[in-house]
Amino acid sequence: MKFNNHFYSPNDQFKAKWSNFENSKINFNLDHFKEELVPFYGTKDFENFTREEKIQMFFEYIKFVSEAFLLFEQLIIVSERSIRKNKNIPFEFKEKLWHIAQEEMYHSIGFKTFLNGSTQLNWKNHKIYYHTKIIRTSLCFIVKNFPTCLFLPGAKLEASSLGYYVELKKLYDSNHHNSWLELNAIHSQDEAHHVPMQFELHNDSILKLGALKTIVGSLLFFIALQLTLFLGIRQVVEYSFPQIKGARRLTPLKKWILTVKMAHWSVRNNESYIAARRMTKRYFQSQKPKFGIFFKYITW
Ligand SMILES: [Fe+2]
Ligand SMILES: [Fe+2]
């Protein structure tokens, strides 16, 4: 997969940084398994899973995270294209958003190369929600019609990518240890700028594009995103426990219970999410987003 986009010429340093993710030289397999990255880690439930189940959950959850970033990055590009057409928006604003969108374009190709390049992930046959048309169509519909809706909810997702990298770094000894860590390392360099920029974009656009529209759109986007992530976790459960028979057989009800528990772990025990919430709260205090009271739910 090649980075070629006619309307963007990033500098050589930026290109060099992403060059490993232009091809499929992906180094990510069982040698890189870490219990700490398995859902339920640190809870009582964790001990009830077999090693095989933990390994499968490890890979499926990484796919879930990777696809979530990929999906969001593509939505940023949709938002930029929609706002670009608006004649009332100043050039400087469009340029700032365009800059983010182009970096996201690189990120999305990087995550796609990673997903395609690791045979262990089996992404070709086992996609989490990337292939689910209804999800993509609904999110695209919201973003196209409410293009400013993803600035603040997006800042939190981007903050979680920063928190995620911090957690990964603790587990492996160098950024070149494996492709997943390397990808998250270079991704976080860009995202560190994006988080505050999303707050600036929000403040610069909300009155020009309509406060009510942004408030309603952000809420719709936030709900749709939560639903998407929840269904993604349901898929992680589905792929992680394929052939359990006998007393431990997972009935549909048990699968939904596991899904709810895994979703709960993701937002309450997962250190990267806890860090993202803390960071988002801090930005809410320092950047004072306009009409912030209507967006407070993002920090929950
Ligand atoms: Fe990104
Ligand atoms: Fe970003």
Where in the chain are the domains? 34-299
Closest ligand to Cα 100 = 2
Distance 162 CA to ligand 2 centre (A): 10
Mean per-residue pLDDT, 143-156: 94
pLDDT by residue (tens digit) across 33-48? 999 999 999 999 999 9
The CATH class for the domain spanning 34-299 reads mainly alpha
- 6: exposed, middle or buried (C-beta count within 10 Å: 0-12, 13-18, 19+)? exposed
Q: How many CB atoms lie within 10 A of CB 3?
A: 17
- Are 70 and 112 in contact by the 8 Å Cβ rule? The answer is yes
Determine the distance separating the centroid of ligand 1 and the alpha carbon of 171, expressed in angstroms.
22
Neighbours of ion ligand 1 (CB under 5 A): 73, 107
Rounded to the nearest angstrom, the distance between the alpha carbon of 156 and the centre of ligand 1 is: 12
Give the ligand whose atoms come closest to the C-alpha of residue 184. Answer: 1
Its pTM stands at 0.91
Distance CA 21, CA 227 (A): 30
Question: What single string gives the DSSP state of each residue in 138-170?
Answer: HHHHHHHHSTTTTHHHHHHHHHHHHHHHHHHHH
Inform me whether the pLDDT recorded for 243 exceeds 70.
no
| Degrees, nearest 5: CA angle 140-112-131 | 45
Residue 294 backbone phi and psi in degrees, to 5: -80, -5
Mean pLDDT computed over every residue of the chain: 90
Cα–Cα distance, 285 to 271 (Å, whole number): 21
Which residues lie at CB < 5 A from ion ligand 2? 158, 191, 194
The DSSP code for 249 is -
Tens digits of residue pLDDT in 20-34: 787 668 999 999 999
**Is residue 7 scored above 50 in pLDDT?**
no
Q: Is pLDDT at 6 greater than 50 in this prediction? A: no
- Expressed in angstroms and rounded, the spacing between residue 194 Cα and the centre of ligand 2 is 5
* pLDDT attached to residue 12: 73
Dihedral in degrees, nearest 10, Cα atoms 53, 60, 160, 97: 180
Find the 148 Cα to ligand 2 centroid distance in Å: 14
Tokens of 47: 């001990």
In order, the DSSP letters of 173-236 are SSTTS-HHHHHHHHHHHHHHHHHHHHHHHHHHHHHHH-HHHHHHHHHHHHHHHHHHHHHHHHHH
Task: Calculate ∠ Cα 198-202-203, nearest 5°.
Answer: 120
Neighbours of 194 (CB within 10 A): 24
Where would I find the H helices in 241-292? Answer: 252-268, 271-287
